[in-house]
Structures are given as C-alpha cells and as structure tokens.
Structure 1
C-alpha cells in the first residue's frame, strides 16, 4: 500500500518547529542550540550531510526484521520445522492480556511497594501482540488476523506506553508529554514489526492510526529533544543500558514503518551517533559494570540496533566496526568463572547466564570462535517479534562461517579486566582442581552499582559457594540515592568486604580501587587492591586487599586484608554465602552446597576473633552474612580468610 507520508505528518498537527524539521529534511543546523557537555557524545544539531549520505544507502521502501506474511519461503520452513507446534497449540484459546488501570497505578496508590505489577502488565501486552502476529504469520490462515488488529488497536489507544515507574506525574497517561524509555521503545518496535509482518492484512485506516501514534509518542519527542534540549528523553546521552535499548526500539520502528527516506536516514543517523554513549559506559577493557543480566539486555539491544542499520544500509553502516565492540563482545567468555557460572555483581541475580542467541550472533559476526555458541538452530521462541524474528530469519551473521576456535577465552587460566580491576582465575585444564574465583575492583559509581569494591565470588564445581549475593527485587525507592544504600544487599554490609570502624563503603566515583601489585604464573595468581578510598573514615591510613589463587592440588584462594589507623578502631570482615554452613572449630567454617563442600579458615595474627551471623533476604533468596571481627579496637593488623575444597 503506497501512502503520501507528508499528508500524514500534517494531519498530526505537529509543533511548527517539528513540522519544519520533518518537511525540510530535518535541517536544524541553523537553529541556535546550546550543546550539552555532560555526555561523551552530547546533544548536537542533526548532521544534514551525514543524513544525505545515509539516504543514498537506503532502499526505497521501509523494512523490518524477517519477511512479511506474503513472502512465504522462510515462514513455511519455520512452520515445517516442528519447533512451533507447541506454541501454536497453546495459542488456540489465547486471550490478549488486558490493560489494568489498577496495576498501572498500584505503585502510586500504595497497594504495591514495587512497580513490578504495572511493568509486567505492560510488557505482557507487547508480548501478546508479538504472539498473535507470530501465530498468524506462521499459519497464514487468517485465524489470528482479527486478534492482531484488535490487539494493535487496543495498544494504540492505550493511554500510556511507558512503565509506571517512568511516568513521572503521569504525564504520559494524561497525554501531557510522551517519554521514550525502555517500555515505550519496546511498544514502538513491536507495533512497527507487526505492521511490517502483517502487510496488507492490516487495514489501511488502522495502519495510518498506528503510524500516527508512533510519531506522536516516539518519533516527534526524540526530534524535539534534539531541537530544544528539554529535560525529557535523556536516553540519548545516557551511558547505561537505556541508551541502546531505547535507540534499538526507536530506530527499528522508524526503519520498519517510515516511507520517507530522508526521515529514515535521520533516525539511522541518530542511532549511529548517540549509540556511542552506550558504548562509552563499558570499560575500556570491555567490562560491563551493570552485570551479565543487563549485558544481555543492553548490549543485546545494541546488537539488534546494529542489525537493523546493517540490513537497512546493505552493510554500509556497521556499528560493529568500532574496535571497542570486540572487547565488549568478549565480556561473557572472559567473565566466566568455571562451568558456565558467572558472578552476580551489581544488579544481577545468582545463577544468571549469557543469552545464547546474543552470543551466537556475536560469535559469528565478530569471529569470536566460541564453540558452544556457533551452532545455529531454530529455537521456536516467539516471546517478541523483534530479535527472535531477527534470529529465526537470515541475518548478517547466519551466512558467516564460525570463527577459528579461540582457546584463549574461557579455557584460559585467567582474565584480568585491567582497566576496571576485575580478575577472574580458573584452574588449569585437566587438573584436579575444580574451583575458580573472581575479585572485583571497580568503583562505586557504576550503573546499577552496589557498594562492593573488593567483593568476590568463589565457585566450586558448578556451585557458588560464597561471595557476592547479587540483586534483590526492585522496590519503589531502590534507585533513589537517599534510600538505595539503606538496603544491606546493595550497601557493602551484604558483601564479603570489610566494615571499617562500623562504617560501610561510600557511594560515588571517589570510592575506587587501585591495583598496586599483580603477579600471574601457571601455579598462582596474585593481585593487591588498595580499597581505602571506599571508606570515608577519619584516621584510616591503609586498607589493602590481596587475593592469592593457588591452582596446585585441589586449589585454594586466600584473601588478606592489611589495615592501619591513626588510632585504635574496630575491624570486621564477612563471609557471605547461600551454602549451608556450620562452625567446625574456633577458626574454621564448613560450607556445603548440593554435592560440594568447602572449608573456610580465618585468622588475624596477634588478635582474638569472634563471629556474628545474620540471615538477610530483603525480598530475594536468603543468604547468610557471617561477620568475623577482632574482639577489641586495634591500630593495625591483618585479616586472612582461605577457601579450600574439602577432600
């Protein structure tokens, strides 16, 4: 169906400034604009020259991921694979999730302490639209077409597309202003993919209404942000997962629905430039301070953004060409401790693992040579109509051969994120040792930060025996700086790090580890971190944590804290664990988790030690904090804790 796009633009009754931007090739180079310097890549006028270059790379028609329902070759192949039979059986009596005003306002009216109910309801509706679209495109029998149209219409008319947590003052719900954030960008891309996949099965009137809604709630607010530099839609200059998630939805929706090439090129240029902010949030060594769950989410959307632009420009614009991407892509294999176990640093839960579809895409695209991810197969996933569709259909990675196997990654003895100060130590291949460890330096101003400088995780077999407890369920105030570190699991109290004169670590960039010594050999790895800046304690002269990982025999790891004050003060450290534990001697604990057992010995030369234990949950899985403290204040000393498998 062909449409005169600018007629639709005029029908939207846009602000004159935005209408000028749209119709005049988005040329705002002559509009006075105060450039923000807060972000690595600040807001700036749209680059007309770059937009013109990109325009020449684009096809005449918009295109999304996969193929429309009318192009049957791949759709029929997917149907015949048998991977979607269970999904289609479950869809026969599918009821589209309704919008719940009660859930949307549950956080604000005091019926819930978390925005989880409202957020889940919102995202289930996006998932519902994806599912009915998948079902119809697989079968092509018009069994679900009416349900697709009804669901699409329902979502278009939904007052807000944003998470309740993001609807400040309920401006979105009341139609005062519109925010592009994690959920609304998901809605936009899901709607756009539905229009693209269903093609002419969506009525002309409904298609026009849907595209108008995209302009009103997504496209125009972003253009206005760039033009006016208002306080809304700050994702463009964020350096965390919001940047890539929102850009992926914004650009993907534009490329799948907008007829006008100038406009499509504009949004590609926006994605190309502002996505650099998200990359800058990763360490120069590729480390993701947000943890592996948010890596899956944030960098997964960067990969999706890359594929959208790659397909639209025929590979002429490739966001993977940035050299830093190669390092970020290796974050997962470099962070693995052993046996597919990863640390639960930051807002990450214990047991979290990499997204296999993402890693398959990265391994092939960047020639990482990761064997476990190089086999491509039809998964049968239908949870969204964006990346699951991108991976089910031919994409830029599927035609590539796997890279040469790289044995320098997860099978190596260690990996040191030297810029961040995170060391992962592993046993030698074929040795009798089956324990690994990771020590975290970093700083206390990372995105989704916990105050955890010096934290660690000890793994034996496939069990996390002790260390960082990970995330707790999000509450209403968990991101409020006034309350965030009152939670024990987010403050340093719930981590295996010292208490200095009863003081926990402070937040902020000034709390930063410094690597003062390292020595790596085939038998032993040793590193020392100065972590004194993490504590705002008058009179603290020295606080260093040394980790020694020994690969010999069954293996062991020792943490030694060396401290000094100007006058006598208290000192305490902690063993943090979800293992079953008991004290078996004055200086020894036994940790048991499933079939693994580990001894923990502790000492402080010249000092008497005592224990105090506490069970902590704060809504998440319970864990024990076993405080180990020197009985009386001291001026200086050492605290030594060793973990060793019990034979």
Structure 2
C-alpha cells in the first residue's frame, strides 16, 4: 500500500492547494488566543440544551492541534513546534476531552468518559508522538503518556462502554481511535483489549446490510469508515490481522461513490447535509486496496479537514493521496438499487434522482418512507433538508416535532392532517425497481390511517412522473395533501411551478408555503413547500429544462 512520506508531500503538485490551505489555517490558529473551556461553558449545555457554545470553542482548540501538528510533520520549523507544544499543554490541562452532551450532569470522573471526541484526542496526541518521536521534548511525551493513560487506557481496561455494542459510527470511531491509541502508546497492553476492540468494530459492521449502504448518511459513513480503515491499516501493520479482507467491508467501501448524486449534491436522508466533501484520500487508499470496483468519481483532491478538525482524515488524506490517481474522474453508477437499505438511485445527463422505502427506525432516522430527491446543477431541486441543529431535545421525545425530522418536512403525503409515525415497524414495501421505474407501497408508514398507498416513479431522460394511488379502509372522503419541499424558492409562472431549472406540471392548483428552521450549523434557514390537494389518484411531472 502506497504511503506518502511527509517530507515528500511538499513536492507533490497535486497537493499544492491543500498545502497552501494548511499553511493559511496554521497562521490563523497561531495568531489566535485559544478560547477557554470554562466550567460555566461546560454546564451551559445542561442549563439550556444548546451544544454549539461549548463545542465550537472545543473545535478551535482541536484545529490548532491539527494544523500545528501538520506543519511540524511537513515543514518542521522551530516556530511550528512552539505552537504545537502550547496547544498540547492546553489540551492536556482540559477538565475532560469528552462533550457535556455525552455524559450526565454531575458525572463524578468526567476525565474518564470515552466518547467520540475523547477517543479522537487520545489518538491524535499519541500519533503526534509516534510521527515526531524524539523531535518532541521528553517532558511533553511523558505528559501525553500520563494523560492518555489516565483518560483512555485505564478507563477502557477497567470499564465497559456502551458504544462497544453500538451498530453505528460510534463503535468505529471510538473503537478504532482507542485501538490505535493502545497500539501507539501502550502496545504491551493491547492484548488486554484486542477482543473488545474487534467486538466494537464487528458491531459497527453489523449496522450495514450486505449492500454496504450507510442509512446514517454519507457524513456518518465518512466518520465511521475513516476510523475503521485507519485502525485496520495500523492493525494489519502491527499485528498482521487484515480486517479489510472481507466482501461486506468491500461493499461498505463503495458507499461514497454511491451517495453522490452530482458533483456537489449527496443523498441526504436522515441527519445528513446536502453537500459533502469527496474524501479523495480515502478513495485512493480503497482503490489501491480493492481495485477498479472503487470508482474515483471526483478529480479534486480534498483536504480531509472538516469543522471538527478531525486528525485522522486530514493526516491520511495527505498520506494516502496517490499522484497516479490525481486528476482521474470516473463515471458514477447510472441506475442502482440497494435492497437492504431499499434505496433506488438513477443518474441521468440532466438530473439525478433517488427515492427510498425502508423504515422510520434506525440511527439518525427521519420519518421519510417514500420520500425522494431530484438534483440538478444547482443542487437539490426537490430536496431532503437533512439535519437540523443538534440540541438536547433534538435527540429526545420532541425529535419528530422538528420540521426536518417529521414527514411534514419531506416529499410525502399528509393524510387527514396526519403524518408518518416513527419506529422500525412503520415502513414501506418495494414493489418494483429497475428500467427507470421505482414503485412501493408506503401505507404502513402511516399507522393504520390508510389501507394502501402505492407510489410509482417513472423516469425519462428529461422528466420524472410520479403517480400516487390511495386506498382507504372506508368510503369516507379524506383530506389528502401532496407535499413537495425545496431549499430553492419556487416561482409560479403560467400556472406552473418552477424550481431552478425544473418545471412542475400538475392538473391541481399549487399552494406555496415556507417555514423557518435551524440547520445543522445552527443557522436560520428556510424550507419551501409546494402543496397540492389530491383525490385518490394523483399525478405530477417534474420536467428538466
């Protein structure tokens, strides 16, 4: 497997823009006064349920750690080490590396809580020691070792953590990061936890069907699979065990190429965002591991940096970028159906389309059985808004009162004023997929409101025709509203609705509306509605201009 030496990276022309970005970000953090993570700020979450105030400042500190470490790896000047040592000292002095949102108020030993971010921090610090070795002062190496032993090693040996049996990204991120921390800093103790680390990663893989699709969405696939792959790579190197030699893991590795609708739009079912970074470094690594089944669908080389400043994705993007694959751009799959997720995807020259059946259960789920997305050059035209702001209430009883999580914020009918219900038992049933057709019965998502609700999509090169047929348990007249949502403001011209480059044709009269909501970045946003009153048969056509 190709791995780039950091000293050679500065001479790789395909990484020039990313190197400039690292230098620029480093200067920003170098000249910044690091925000304090005060007790008051920590407790703000418990008082208000708001996460952003603490977490944003936390991520600034992790950004300073990442950028100063990268500068030390690549350039290694005295100034870079001075900046790195300052932020290492700051992080080692933090009360806890975990988030208040991930522990109960009044937790007796918060420094022993291993969540996503404490695990990432332990990995980052031990990897810095591994990569820089004797270039670091002895007292800093010892300080990192003591803090990691106190916060990660001993707690993990002495306690069982709930995430070890989670079937989603937590198991991969925490398990992978903790595993790498042991292998780097305390390899002699790895045999004490090896079985549990492997168990956590097995739990993670169990959350995928054999089709490899992450129903948590691309963002969470990125997060979990980066750490799974990072650990697997180091585990094979140090212990000779190959976790990647598995057909299901290979299918999961193909998830990224399947989730992009266009170059700038991704499938955003559930708690996702509508635009994601294409992780070229991970794609290059997987291509070199699995061959041409891994498609390189974007010729841009990403930085691997996100708003959380995750250490692994940035370092490995630089280490794993293959100059022989840089500039390659292969076609995305045209028509696909993923039977475990029950997702249908079809990419045409003028647009990309996806629709889903599935259920209203699962991690980061929204109530969206039968919903769909149409994406053009402008982005999503008929949209799935994706995730709202993460707060305490967002993950508790009020979750489905949020517009973006409720079916009233998705492209599905509202029947007698009722929305779809939450839970694994509220689901759809796929009737047909293939040859430009996707059909399902989505009645079970509505908790006994309706006997049958058959939704059928017919795709042409220039348009999509949708037909809904409703069958009720009685002969009463029912109030049916067909709802379609967009993040682009619709306009009505000559009785037809236009959204960007798409025109909607329907015999019924459109009713336009909108509602404000908070997006994942805690910014005020708007979701636009195009509603139609419907009889028991409804037809509509979405035409690309």
Q: TM-score scaled to structure 2, two decimals?
A: 0.88
2:159 to 210, 220, 225: 225
Partner of 1:153: 89
SS in 1 for 2:67: helix
SS in 2 for 1:188: helix
1:505 pairs with 2:420: yes
SS in 2 for 1:265: helix
- List alignment gaps of at least 5 residues for structure 1: 1-64, 67-72, 227-232, 428-432, 604-608
CA contact (8 A) 2:298 2:329 kept: no
2:489 to 577, 580, 589: 580
* Separation (CA, whole Å) in 2 of partners of 1:532 and 1:417: 21
Name the CA shift for 1:385/1:580 in 2 (closer, same or farther; >3 Å).
closer
Name the CA shift for 1:486/1:380 in 2 (closer, same or farther; >3 Å).
closer
1:473 pairs with 2:397: no
Q: Residues 310-389 of structure 1 correspond to what in structure 2 (within 5 A)?
A: 310-313=236-239, 316-370=240-294, 372=296, 383=309, 385-389=311-315
2:332 to 410, 421, 429: 410
CA contact (8 A) 1:434 1:555 kept: no
* Separation (CA, whole Å) in 2 of partners of 1:398 and 1:542: 52
CA contact (8 A) 2:257 2:296 kept: no
| TM-aligned CA deviation for residue 288 of structure 1 | 1.0
1:547 pairs with 2:457: yes
- List alignment gaps of at least 5 residues for structure 2: 520-524
C-alpha distance after superposition, 1:422-441 (max 9, x if no partner): 111223xxxxx512311111
SS in 1 for 2:244: helix
C-alpha distance after superposition, 1:59-108 (max 9, x if no partner): xxxxxx98xxxxxx934323455843564466454346233214333322
SS in 1 for 2:208: coil
Partner of 2:473: 565
| TM-aligned CA deviation for residue 130 of structure 1 | 2.5
CA contact (8 A) 1:193 1:386 kept: no
| TM-aligned CA deviation for residue 309 of structure 1 | 1.3
| TM-aligned CA deviation for residue 339 of structure 1 | 4.5
Name the CA shift for 1:355/1:176 in 2 (closer, same or farther; >3 Å).
closer
Partner of 2:522: none
Name the CA shift for 1:545/1:153 in 2 (closer, same or farther; >3 Å).
same
**Cα RMSD (Å) of the superposition?**
3.0
1:97 pairs with 2:34: yes
C-alpha distance after superposition, 1:576-597 (max 9, x if no partner): 1123323345xx532232xx2x
Larger Rg: 1
SS in 2 for 1:357: helix
Partner of 2:9: 78
SS in 1 for 2:200: helix
C-alpha distance after superposition, 1:228-256 (max 9, x if no partner): xxxxx211100111111111210111111
CA contact (8 A) 2:254 2:294 kept: no
Q: TM-score scaled to structure 1, two decimals?
A: 0.75
* Separation (CA, whole Å) in 2 of partners of 1:293 and 1:269: 28
* Separation (CA, whole Å) in 2 of partners of 1:378 and 1:512: 37
CA contact (8 A) 2:254 2:293 kept: no
* Separation (CA, whole Å) in 1 of partners of 2:298 and 2:415: 48
* Separation (CA, whole Å) in 2 of partners of 1:618 and 1:573: 21
* Separation (CA, whole Å) in 2 of partners of 1:444 and 1:371: 31
* Separation (CA, whole Å) in 2 of partners of 1:176 and 1:392: 34
